[in-house]
Amino acid sequence: MEVTIGVQHLPREVVVETEEAADAIAAAVRKALPDGVLELTDTRGRRVVIPAQHVGYVEIGTEEQRKVGFGSL
């Protein structure tokens, strides 16, 4: 699942590809805001830590698998 995080005073978004469920990511975001940091782990095991006061928005992608191929369904 792809998570896009807009951070204040940065020209680019932070994009994290993770295997966590959307509900788990949303819970982590809710928990991080009063605590001070948002921490996620990507598919390669790297941890991304962002100070919560600088988070502008969090976009959580869908859990659907992408369709591959040239045929139309």
Give this prediction's pTM: 0.67
| Of 53, 58, 56, 59, nearest in space to 7 by CA | 56
> Which tens digit of pLDDT belongs to each residue from 27-60?
888 888 776 788 888 888 888 888 888 888 888 8
Measure the CA–CA gap between 13 and 1, rounded to whole angstroms. 16
Kindly report the CA angle at 58 between 54 and 59, in degrees rounded to 5?
155
| 68: pLDDT strictly greater than 70 | no
Sign for the CA dihedral angle at 9, 15, 42, 34 comes to positive
Indicate the domain borders of the chain: 2-60
Residue type, 10: L
Residue 49: alpha-carbon gap to chain centroid: 11
| Of 4, 24, 2, 23, nearest in space to 14 by CA | 4
